[in-house]
Amino acid sequence: MTIRVASVGECMIELSQRDSSTLSFGFGGDTLNTAVYLARAAAPGVAVDYLTALGDDPYSETMLAAWAEEGVGTGMVARLPGKLPGLYLIRVDEAGERRFFYYRSAAAARELFRDERTAPQLAAIAEYDLVYFSLITLSILAEPARDRFFAALEALRASGGRVAFDTNYRPAGWSDRAAAQAAVTRFMAVADIALPTADDEANLFGDRSLDDCVERYRRLGVAELALKLGPDGCCLVDGAERRVVPVPERVQPVDTTAAGDSFDAGYLALRLAGGSPEEAALAGHRMAAAVVRHRGAIIPRAATPKLFAASA
C-alpha cells in the first residue's frame, strides 16, 4: 500500500547572490525543499505531493516541470490565472550563513484555502497518511484560511493520519512575535511530530536554555519531538525520556540554506519506513550535512545521500 505524504506551503523564485554583480536563478521554499529531499530519499512505496497554489505564468510552469522531474506529485497544485509566485533573494556571508529578502505580498500561495479555487486542495488533506507544514506555511495564510487548515488537520488525524510541524520562524512573515507564538501553540495541538530548531525557538519564545524549550513542548503534549541543535545534533524527547543524537561528522558549511528542511526530510523518511527516532535523527543529519556543502536550497541529485538501497 502506498504511503501518501503532502507537504503544504509556498515555493518561490530564488535568486542567490554569486558575487557582487551576479545572481543565479532557482526556486525554493522550506516545505518544497523538504518535499524534494523526501521524494529523493524515501523508501519505495512513499508518494510525496506538494500542495500549494501557483499562477499561470512561465515561472510557475518551470516549477511544476522541475517538481515532476524530482518525483514530487503536482496534482494538488491549484493554478490561479493572473497570479505569480513569490520571489526571494539570498545573500550568504563567509561563514555560510544567509540572509533572505522577500517579495511575496501578492503571491498565489497566499490564496491557499481562501480562494474557492483551492477548495479541492483543502478537501484532499484528510486523504493523506502524513501532512507536513511549517510556521512559514501558517504565516502566508489569512486567518480564515488557517482556521480551515486546522479543521482539515483535525479531520486527517481523526481518520488515522499523522501531522508533522516545523516551527520555522521568520520574523518578516508575522505582525509581531505574539502572533507567531499563538500560531505555534494552536497548531501543536494537532501535531504528532514536532520538528523545531533551537535557534528559532529562542528567537521566538526567548528560551534561555534547552530545558526551557523542551519543557514548553512537554506542556503542549507533543508526542514526538525532534529538536534541531545545528552542529550539536538533535534532541529527541518522548514523554519523560530525553536524549541527544550528535551529528556523526561536523562539516564546514558552504551555505546553510535548507539545512533544517533536509533534516526534516531524512527524519520523516526513516520514520515512515518504521525506523526509530534515533535512526531518523541520524538520517536527518546525513541529509543536512550533504546539503550544507552546496550552495542553494536544492543540491544536485547525485549528491543527495541514499538512505535506502532502493532509493532512486
Distance between CA atoms of residues 60 and 64, nearest Å: 6
Q: Which residues are catalytic?
A: 261
> Both ends of the chain: CA-CA distance in Å?
19
Strand-pair partners of 132: 7, 164
C-alpha cell at 55: 499562477
3-state secondary structure of 49: strand
Q: Quick check: 255 and 296 in contact, CB under 8 A?
A: yes
Q: Judging by DSSP bridges, how do beta strands 12-19 and 224-228 pair with one another? A: unpaired
Give the three-state DSSP class for 285. helix
Q: What single-letter amino acid sits at 95?
A: A
**Percentages of the chain per state (helix, strand, coil), in multiples of 5:** 45, 25, 35
236 closest CA partner among 256, 257, 222, 250: 222
